[in-house]
Amino acid sequence: MGCVVALSVCCGQRRGGQAVALVLVDEIVGWRAGLDDLLARFAHRFGRAEPRRQALSYLVGLLSPLASKNGWTLAEAAGDATPDRMQRLLNRSAWAPDAVRDDLFAYVREHLGYDDGVLIVDETGFLKKGIKSAGVQRQYCGTAGRTENCQLGVFLAYASPQGRTPDRPGVASAPQVVRRPRPREEAGIAASVGFATKPALGLRMLERAITAGLPARWVTADEAYG
């Protein structure tokens, strides 16, 4: 799913016996209620009940303290026997990711919007073992601190005195993957998608945020983005 709101979840931090468990339960109940309210805003973007339920399970899994988050672990956390439902949500279910993104912008504007807000462009690396994921290749990965087989995801975050949240990532596609038909097909890259540099992805996200009316006075990024 394209849009994820970063909610504060305490996971694995010990604060003393049974009191820790009680605090964790209170926190989980709090952020789950907020997540339900958020999803109610764009539930109509999913044409059927099954992908709506799966989208909620997917987000809850992403916000959980799972050590590893992939199709299998997210499916198990949701109580599914296989990752088929998660994969169907991400790869084949009919829903409107751009419309969900706009709903998310409206939510952020309502709850975190501030005239002196800051838009932050940054990236992170996702280590990969295979060669079929979109944009995967051997390249420098900040997550590992060295050259590795990985994807690079570009993110846009918004920060204000009210809080902060990331926007969806854009994967920087390796040109050799995009230009070769077989890797493109295996990675699920649409024919209309061309190679995009990290600065181009960041600029595209900034344009969308500004067009959506997200108030901001500043834009920050590291030197890789000019």
Residues 215 and 103 in one domain: yes
Residue 85 near residue 192, CB atoms below 8 Å: no
Question: Of 57, 91, 125, which residue constitutes the final position of a domain?
Answer: 91
Residue 15, classified by CB atoms within 10 Å of its CB into exposed (0-12), middle (13-18) or buried (19+), is: exposed
- Domain with 147 in it: 97-225
**Residue 103 shares a structural domain with residue 87:** no
Whether 6 is in a domain gets the answer: no
Do 169 and 219 lie in a common domain?
Answer: yes
Pair 94, 83: CB distance under 8 Å: no
Is the domain of 146 the same as that of 195? yes
Out of 56, 91, 126, pick the residue that ends a domain. Answer: 91
Is residue 67 packed enough to be buried (19+ CB in 10 Å), middle (13-18) or exposed (0-12)? exposed
Q: What is the structure's pLDDT at 15?
A: 36
Is 145 in the same domain as 197? yes
Specify whether 101 is located in the same domain as 197. yes
Residue 195 Cα distances to 81, 138, 173, 179, 189, angstroms: 36, 17, 6, 8, 11
Beta-bridge partners for 164: 159
Work out how many domains the chain is built from and give that number.
2
The verdict on 73 and 143 lying in the same domain is: no
pLDDT digits 0-9 by tens, 28-57 = 566 777 788 888 888 899 888 899 989 888
Q: What is the pLDDT along the chain (226 residues), one digit of tens a residue?
A: 333 333 322 333 333 434 433 444 455 566 777 788 888 888 899 888 899 989 888 888 888 888 888 889 999 989 999 999 999 998 888 888 889 889 989 989 999 999 999 999 998 888 888 877 778 889 888 889 999 999 888 889 999 999 888 765 565 555 554 555 566 676 667 777 777 888 888 999 999 999 999 999 999 998 888 7
Task: Identify whether residues 134 and 206 lie together within a single domain.
Answer: yes
What local confidence, expressed as pLDDT, does residue 70 receive? 86
The residue among 45, 71, 91 that closes a domain is 91
Same domain, 81 and 101: no
By the 8 A CB rule, do 25 and 10 touch? no
